[in-house]
Amino acid sequence: MESVASARRVTKRFAASAPPALDGIDIEIVAGKMTGLVGPDGAGKTTLIRLLAGLMDADAGEVCALGRPATAADRSAIGYMPQRFGLYEDLAVIENLDLYANLRGLPRSERADSFAKLLEFTDLARFQDRLAGKLSGGMKQKLGLACALVRTPKLLLLDEPGVGVDPVSRRELWAMVRSLTEDGIAVLWSTAYLDEAEKCDTVYLLNEGRMLHAGPPQVMTGKVEGRIVRLAVAAESRRRTLERALDDEAVADGMIQGSAIRLMLRERAEPPSPAGLGVVDAIYEPVSPRFEDAFVDALGGGAPASSALARAYRTIPASDAPAIEARGLTKRFGAFTAADDIRFTVPRGQIFGLLGPNGAGKSTTFKMLCGLLKPSVGTGSVAGHDLRTAAADARQSLGYMAQKFSLYGDLSVRQNLDFFSGVYGLTGARQRAAIERVTEVFHLERYLKDNAIALPLGYKQRLALACAVMHEPPVLFLDEPTSGVDPIVRREFWTHINGLVDKGVAVLVTTHFMDEAEYCDRIALIYRAREIAIGTPDELKARAGAVEATMEDAFIALIEASDAERGREAAAGGRPPRPGEDM
């Protein structure tokens, strides 16, 4: 097998006092293969990719690419997509492609073909004249990928290409890159989606600058074989049951799956008795492990049993009024409809999920409910306050975590906490106590003086959640709270969310991780601005047909069904197309 790029005993330090970012690392990237790179936040993945791309020098060891030292390699044959890809927001989609084609020296004669293929795969053909700045988060990510792929390279380095990309597009992206490997291209794919790592030929697992595992992913997954079980539980008490299970010595990790819990047991441990967890008439069924289980096991961390944040949180008083209500929310931007007649209600103490492909209208719906965008038609309420008549009260009753990092990057962590607690009306001793509490809960102590923009992604997200909950609101809006964060931090977040919900908080959440969708009490699937399905996770899975359908199967099946229906309507010339369908 032909090695296209490699690192040998590579060490890299950024500060003499800090531990090395990479410490004696070996990696081999081979022609025609998918090489996966995984690890928690701050493991050193991006540093390794930048070394391979020849963007900086190692302190010790050798880094080679395309037969030369990486810093002297032929750049035109290396495709590199950094984590934060630089799009030109004031240029249209097609102009961005053209610009990158110029930079990469793609001959004019090849552009039409290349662009057509990329626009089709990213589903951006309809939007090629839209300014990049007006795309949804995931659409921007896909355009970034398209720009990185305008010219087929020999070595392709992708640094978390799937962040914020919906499950259907991630599958398509995977298939497209896979087909490149069939032409002999060598691919390095760094990812926090471990279902992708599972499909790689070889996976490297990096932690704190050291390599914990290298080899076929199946070998690692095999290490936790026989330790994964599922238990059907009463839907109403699943959060409590999971908390009890995680509190048991024998349980290393656990998650909710619709109305069941899925546990990973410690080595040679007996599962806790169902009766002890408060479950009657149910037995454990063994299930196959996934790569993510092995990852969590190797890093020694699973979901924490309970949330210190939730323990200190007030109990939200009971109320007959829904905590969140959307009544026909519609948003038009010119002739384009971004959200069309969205309706749902969320009672106190429940999690409601908005799922849907990139550009479906999820963030637009969030922003209308938070009072950041004025609906074109329709209204809603938050904690009983109508958005039209009591907007200020509604706003004080909610905590909002935006999809894109929305804190003050050039203020320190401490200043952000001061500022946001002040905005939400906290003063004096209450304010100090709230700041102290979240600093402890989210482990922010050592970063208090650092500028928010410089934090590792997992800490940025923790800080954003901290800022949203300090005033103990009864309603939380979380727009992709776990996007790009590693599986360990994702578990920590869900333990907090579950704990808050038990205190009576109502949560509206969106995610592209289908396993997280399972935590929701109910879900609305949004596609091209409209709600195409609504129900519990188990109901949606049942509608996908297959007995063992996953949330991802359900997502895909429901979208295909909706496409087919739109096609039939169009063919019958029945209902005129709604605004937004054709553009």
Residues that bind ligand ATP (CB under 6 A): 134-139, 166, 333, 336, 338, 356, 358-364, 403
Nearer to ligand ATP, 180 or 338 (CB): 338
Nearer to Mg ion, 137 or 474 (CB): 137
CA torsion sign for 216, 219, 224, 225 is: positive
Angstrom distance (rounded) from CA 30 to CA 15: 32
Nearest distance from residue 23's CB to ligand ATP, in Å?
A: 36
Closest CA relative to residue 145, chosen from 218, 87, 215, 199 = 87
Instruction: Say which entry of ligand ATP, Mg ion, none residue 191 contacts (CB below 5 to 8 A, set by partner kind).
Output: none
Nearer to ligand ATP, 297 or 340 (CB): 340
Angstrom distance (rounded) from CA 342 to CA 325: 10
Nearest distance from residue 472's CB to ligand ATP, in Å?
A: 27
Angstrom distance (rounded) from CA 84 to CA 74: 23
Nearest distance from residue 291's CB to ligand ATP, in Å?
A: 24
Nearest distance from residue 514's CB to Mg ion, in Å?
A: 16
- Amino acid identity, residue 61? G
Nearest distance from residue 341's CB to ligand ATP, in Å?
A: 15
- Amino acid identity, residue 305? A
Nearer to ligand ATP, 74 or 581 (CB): 581
Nearest distance from residue 135's CB to ligand ATP, in Å?
A: 5
Instruction: Say which entry of ligand ATP, Mg ion, none residue 155 contacts (CB below 5 to 8 A, set by partner kind).
Output: none
Nearer to ligand ATP, 165 or 220 (CB): 165
518: its two tokens? 């399972």
Angstrom distance (rounded) from CA 277 to CA 248: 9
Nearest distance from residue 538's CB to ligand ATP, in Å?
A: 24
User: Is residue 403 within the footprint of Mg ion (CB under 5 A)?
Assistant: yes
| Segment 103 to 142, residues that bind Mg ion, using CB under 5 A | 137
Nearer to Mg ion, 145 or 233 (CB): 145
Nearer to Mg ion, 302 or 357 (CB): 357
Interface stretch with Mg ion, choices 53-61, 81-89, 363-371, 389-397 (CB under 5 A): 363-371
Nearest distance from residue 336's CB to ligand ATP, in Å?
A: 6
**Number of residue whose CB is nearest ligand ATP:** 138
- The 3-state DSSP composition of the chain as helix, strand, coil percent (nearest 5) reads 40, 25, 40
Nearer to ligand ATP, 42 or 580 (CB): 580
Output phi, psi for 129, to 5 deg.
-95, 0
Closest CA relative to residue 246, chosen from 166, 170, 301 = 301
Return the residue matching tokens 């890159």. 177
Nearest distance from residue 170's CB to ligand ATP, in Å?
A: 12
Instruction: Say which entry of ligand ATP, Mg ion, none residue 139 contacts (CB below 5 to 8 A, set by partner kind).
Output: ligand ATP
Nearer to ligand ATP, 309 or 525 (CB): 525
Nearer to ligand ATP, 32 or 371 (CB): 371
Angle at 29 between CA 24 and CA 35, to 5 degrees: 100
Q: In terms of C-beta distances under 8 Å and separation of at least 24 residues, what long-range contacts does 420-425 make, across chains too?
A: 420/467, 420/470, 421/467, 421/470, 421/471, 424/396, 424/399, 424/470, 424/471, 424/473, 425/396, 425/471
Interface stretch with Mg ion, choices 273-281, 355-363, 406-414, 453-461 (CB under 5 A): 355-363
Angstrom distance (rounded) from CA 238 to CA 240: 5
- Asked whether the beta carbons of 284 and 271 are under 8 A apart, the reply is yes
How many CB atoms sit inside 10 A of residue 74's CB? 14
Instruction: Say which entry of ligand ATP, Mg ion, none residue 461 contacts (CB below 5 to 8 A, set by partner kind).
Output: none
472: its two tokens? 């103990």
Binder to Mg ion among 122, 191, 307, 363 (CB under 5 A)?
363
Nearer to ligand ATP, 170 or 362 (CB): 362
If you write DSSP's letter for every residue of 153-198 in order, what string do you get?
-SEEEEESTTTT--HHHHHHHHHHHHHHHHTT-EEEEE-S-HHHHT
Instruction: Say which entry of ligand ATP, Mg ion, none residue 14 contacts (CB below 5 to 8 A, set by partner kind).
Output: none
Nearest distance from residue 133's CB to ligand ATP, in Å?
A: 8
Number of chain positions touching Mg ion (CB under 5 A): 4
Instruction: Say which entry of ligand ATP, Mg ion, none residue 338 contacts (CB below 5 to 8 A, set by partner kind).
Output: ligand ATP
Return the residue matching tokens 């995984």. 38
Nearest distance from residue 330's CB to ligand ATP, in Å?
A: 12
Q: Distance from CA of residue 200 to its chain's centroid?
A: 20
Q: What is the DSSP letter of 473?
A: -
Instruction: Say which entry of ligand ATP, Mg ion, none residue 380 contacts (CB below 5 to 8 A, set by partner kind).
Output: none
Chain residues that interact with Mg ion, rule: CB under 5 A: 137, 362-363, 403
